[in-house]
């Protein structure tokens, strides 16, 4: 094999490997939480997540809910600290992801990153009542997108 041919095939291999190693951001999806139901009281979001998952690393979750008004109940998005606080809907150590006014227009976007433990999402309104009685909670452990030719 000539030197230039070898160099060319080497370059091609390098390009191929670089492409294969780069994160497939073009494959990343935007998922509206709850689908057409959006983010509201009384819909089973953990069942929705189980039926619509798995979700992949770099996918974006979009939480859509109306800002507070006379005709709608306010909602929010919190990240629970661990499985126990998720199970019990205890918001004491939860982290605010989106406030009551953040779900309007295009919605509140959250990019799923690589993680060792699941994300535990919940609505934080009425001191956990929306979480416990309104079923506004679900867990997600994003998985890698593996697409090999
Ligand atoms: Cu709520």
Residue-wise pLDDT tens digits, 34-69: 999 999 999 999 999 999 999 999 999 999 999 999
SS3 22: coil
Q: CA-CA distance, 105 to 2, in Å (whole number)?
A: 60
CA of 65 from ligand 1 middle (Å) equals 9
CA of 123 from ligand 1 middle (Å) equals 5
Q: CA-CA distance, 92 to 81, in Å (whole number)?
A: 9
List the 108-111 sheet strands across, edge first.
Answer: 30-32, 60-63, 108-111
Contact 117, 97 (CB under 8 A): no
Q: What is the pLDDT of residue 9?
A: 55
CA of 44 from ligand 1 middle (Å) equals 12
CA of 26 from ligand 1 middle (Å) equals 32
CA of 135 from ligand 1 middle (Å) equals 9
The pLDDT-based confidence of 149 (bands split at 50, 70, 90) is: confident
| Residues with a beta carbon under 5 angstroms from ion ligand 1 | 75, 123, 125, 130, 136
CA of 75 from ligand 1 middle (Å) equals 4
Average pLDDT over residues 68-80: 94
CA of 67 from ligand 1 middle (Å) equals 11
What are phi and psi for residue 32, nearest 5 degrees? -80, 120
Contact 33, 75 (CB under 8 A): no
The pLDDT-based confidence of 72 (bands split at 50, 70, 90) is: confident
CA of 124 from ligand 1 middle (Å) equals 6
Q: What is the pLDDT of residue 13?
A: 46
């Amino acid at each position: 094999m000539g030197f230039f041919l070898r160099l060319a095939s080497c370059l091609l291999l390098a390009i191929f490997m670089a492409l294969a190693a780069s994160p497939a951001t073009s494959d990343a999806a935007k998922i509206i939480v709850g689908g057409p139901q959006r983010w509201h009281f009384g819909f089973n979001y953990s069942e929705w997540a189980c039926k619509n998952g798995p979700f992949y690393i770099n996918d974006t979750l979009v939480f859509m809910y109306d800002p507070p008004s006379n005709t709608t109940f306010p909602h929010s998005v919190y990240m629970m600290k661990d499985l126990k606080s998720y199970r019990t809907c205890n918001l004491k150590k939860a982290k605010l992801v989106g406030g009551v006014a953040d779900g309007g227009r295009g919605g509140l976007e959250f990019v799923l990153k690589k993680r060792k433990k699941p994300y535990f999402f919940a609505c934080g309104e009425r001191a956990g009542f929306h979480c416990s009685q309104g079923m506004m909670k679900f867990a997600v452990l994003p998985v890698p997108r593996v697409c090999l030719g």
